[in-house]
C-alpha cells in the first residue's frame, strides 16, 4: 500500500459513517493484539478547548524528555497530523505500513459477517498500534465525539481524565440537556484515575463530582480566580497562576489562558503518577506550544486570523476575543460551516462585530452547508453578505474589501481552514517583488 492507495482506502471507508459504541473497536483491536493495553494515557473530553489543552500537555511532556504520543482529530493541513510523537507526524512509510495491517484485520471482520470498522475506529486503532510499537512513555488523546461510546474510550489504563469546557454540541448524539451531555463526556473517567476539570456550570460539576465519587477518583478543579498579572496579546500572553510565575504562551485568545491552566493542573497530578516535570521544562514547554487553527494569525497587512469556532460556545468565545483584541478595527468574516452544527446560533453570537461577511462551502466534505444557504441565514442578521464560489474567491474578495485597519477572520469548520491557509500564504508569496521582498514591507 503506497500513500495514495492509503488515502484512497481512507476515502472508501468514510462511507461507514460514525457509529457510536465500543464493540467494533474492541474486535478490531483484539485482532491487533490490543496495543492500547501496553500504553498509559491522558484522555481529554469536552466541547471546546480539548485540542489546545492536549497541545500544552503533550508539548511539556515531550520537552521534559518523555516519548509522548499525540492523537488528534480533525486535522488542518496534513492527514498525518493525527498521529504524532514528540510533535512529529508519522512518516508516510509508517502510516501506510500500519494501515495495511489494520486493513487486513478490518477485511477479515467483514468477511466473517461483522460490521466494517468506521474511519475513526480505524484511525484510533492505527494510533494505538503506532504508539505501542514506537514505545511511547505516555499518550495524550482527545475524544472524537462525546466520551462513553467514543472509540478512544476503549482504553483502560488512563492515568488522568481531563474534562475541558462542556457546553451544548452534538445534541443528536449526546443528549439535549447540559447534564446529559456531561454524563456522556465523563464516561472517560476510569477507576482510581486522576480527574482534572475546568470550572463548569453547576449541573455539569454535579455530574463530574458524582462520577469521581463512584469511581474513587481524586478530583482537581482549575481555579481561574488564582490568575494574576495577566498581559494579553495577539502574539504573546503572560500571566501567573498559583505558584507558577511569569508564564508565557504564544497562543492567542483570552480562553487560551484557561486552557493552559487546565494543562498545568493536569501536569501537576501526572507528577504523582510518575511523570514529574521541572519548573524549567514546564515554562519552556508552555511557551513553545503551538496549535494551528485556534485564533491563529496566518498573515499580516491586513491581519488575517483563522479560528476553528464551530459551535455556539466557541463562537461566543471568538466574539469576546474579537472585541478584546480588535477594538475599533474593521472586521471581515469568511465563514464556512457544516450542516449539522448550530450555525444559526454561531451567526447570532458573532455577526455584530463584522462589517462584511463572506460565506463559503467547505470543500470535499459531505456534511458541508452550501455557501448560498449559509448566506440566506446570515442575511437575517446582517445586510452585507457575499457568497463566494470558492475559497480562492473568498480570499480575493476579503483582500479587495480590506483597508489598512481591517482584520480578516475565517472561522467555522476546521475542515476548510488548512486549504484556506495555503491560499493566503501563496497569495503573499505572489505579492513579493523581484527583489524577494514583500511589497507591503
State pLDDT tens for residues 41-64: 999 998 888 999 999 999 999 999
What's the predicted TM-score (pTM) here?
0.87
d(CA 141, CA 153): 10
Structure confidence at residue 49 (pLDDT): 87
Q: How much is the pLDDT for 165?
A: 87
Q: Residue 179: its pLDDT value, please?
A: 84
Q: According to the model, what pLDDT value does residue 86 have?
A: 97
pLDDT tens column, 345-398: 999 999 999 999 999 999 988 889 999 999 999 999 999 999 999 999 999 999
- Below-70 pLDDT ranges, the chain: 168-176, 430-441
Q: Are 411 and 335 spatial neighbours (Cβ–Cβ below 8 Å)?
A: yes
In this predicted structure, what is the pLDDT of residue 437? Answer: 52
Given this model, what pLDDT does residue 331 score?
A: 97
Q: What is the pLDDT of residue 235?
A: 87
Question: How would you classify residue 163: left for phi > 0, otherwise alpha for psi between -120 and 50, otherwise beta?
Answer: beta
Gap between the Cα atoms of 274 and 238, Å rounded: 29
Please tell me the predicted confidence (pLDDT) of residue 254.
81
User: HSE on the CB side for 224, CA within 13 Å?
Assistant: 13
Alpha-carbon span 244 to 59, nearest angstrom: 17
Give residue 312's pLDDT: 86
Q: Which domains does the chain carry?
A: 3-288 (3.40.1190.10), 296-430 (3.90.190.20)
Give the span between the Cα atoms of 220 and 228, in whole angstroms.
Answer: 20
Amino acid at each position: 500500500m503506497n500513500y495514495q492507495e492509503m488515502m484512497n482506502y481512507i476515502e472508501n471507508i468514510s462511507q461507514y459513517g460514525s457509529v457510536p459504541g465500543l464493540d467494533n473497536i474492541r474486535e478490531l483491536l483484539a485482532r491487533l493484539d490490543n496495543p492500547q493495553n501496553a500504553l498509559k494515557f491522558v484522555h481529554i473530553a469536552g466541547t471546546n478547548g480539548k485540542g489546545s489543552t492536549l497541545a500544552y500537555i503533550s508539548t511539556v511532556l515531550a520537552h521534559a524528555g518523555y516519548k509522548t504520543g499525540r492523537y488528534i482529530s480533525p486535522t488542518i493541513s496534513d492527514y498525518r497530523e493525527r498521529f504524532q510523537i514528540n510533535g512529529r507526524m508519522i512518516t508516510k512509510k509508517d502510516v501506510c505500513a500500519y494501515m495495511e495491517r489494520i486493513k487486513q484485520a478490518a477485511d477479515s471482520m467483514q468477511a466473517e459477517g461483522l460490521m466494517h470498522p468506521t474511519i475513526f475506529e480505524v484511525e484510533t486503532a492505527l494510533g494505538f498500534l503506532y504508539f505501542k510499537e514506537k514505545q511511547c512513555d505516555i499518550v495524550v488523546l482527545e475524544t472524537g465525539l462525546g466520551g462513553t461510546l467514543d472509540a478512544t474510550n476503549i482504553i483502560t489504563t488512563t492515568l488522568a481524565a481531563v474534562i475541558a469546557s462542556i457546553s451544548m454540541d452534538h445534541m443528536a448524539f449526546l443528549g439535549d440537556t447540559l447534564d446529559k451531555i456531561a454524563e456522556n463526556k465523563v464516561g472517560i473517567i476510569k477507576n482510581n484515575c486522576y480527574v482534572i476539570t475546568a470550572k463548569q456550570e453547576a449541573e455539569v460539576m454535579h455530574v463530574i463530582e458524582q462520577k469521581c465519587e463512584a469511581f474513587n477518583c481524586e478530583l482537581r478543579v482549575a481555579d481561574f480566580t488564582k490568575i494574576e498579572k495577566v498581559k494579553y496579546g495577539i502574539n504573546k500572553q503572560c500571566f501567573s497562576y498559583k505558584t507558577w510565575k511569569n508564564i508565557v504562551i504564544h497562543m492567542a485568545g483570552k480562553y487560551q489562558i484557561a486552557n493552559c491552566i487546565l494543562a498545568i493542573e493536569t501536569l501537576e497530578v501526572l507528577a504523582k503518577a510518575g511523570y514529574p516535570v521541572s519548573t524549567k521544562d514546564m515554562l519552556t514547554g508552555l511557551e513553545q506550544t503551538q496549535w494551528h487553527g485556534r485564533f491563529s494569525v496566518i498573515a499580516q497587512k491586513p491581519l488575517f486570523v483563522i479560528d476553528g469556532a464551530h459551535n455556539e460556545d466557541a463562537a461566543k468565545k471568538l466574539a469576546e476575543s474579537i472585541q478584546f483584541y480588535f477594538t475599533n478595527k474593521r472586521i471581515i468574516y469568511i465563514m464556512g460551516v457544516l450542516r449539522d452544527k448550530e450555525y444559526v446560533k454561531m451567526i447570532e453570537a458573532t455577526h455584530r462585530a463584522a462589517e462584511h461577511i463572506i460565506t463559503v462551502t467547505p470543500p470535499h466534505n459531505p456534511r458541508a452547508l452550501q455557501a448560498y444557504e449559509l448566506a440566506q441565514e446570515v442575511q437575517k442578521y446582517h445586510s452585507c453578505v457575499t457568497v463566494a464560489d470558492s475559497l480562492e474567491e473568498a480570499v480575493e474578495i476579503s483582500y479587495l474589501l480590506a483597508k489598512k485597519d481591517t482584520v480578516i477572520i475565517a472561522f467555522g469548520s476546521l475542515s476548510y481552514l488548512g486549504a484556506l491557509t495555503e491560499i493566503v500564504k501563496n497569495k503573499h508569496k505572489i505579492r513579493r517583488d523581484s527583489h524577494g521582498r514583500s511589497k507591503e514591507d
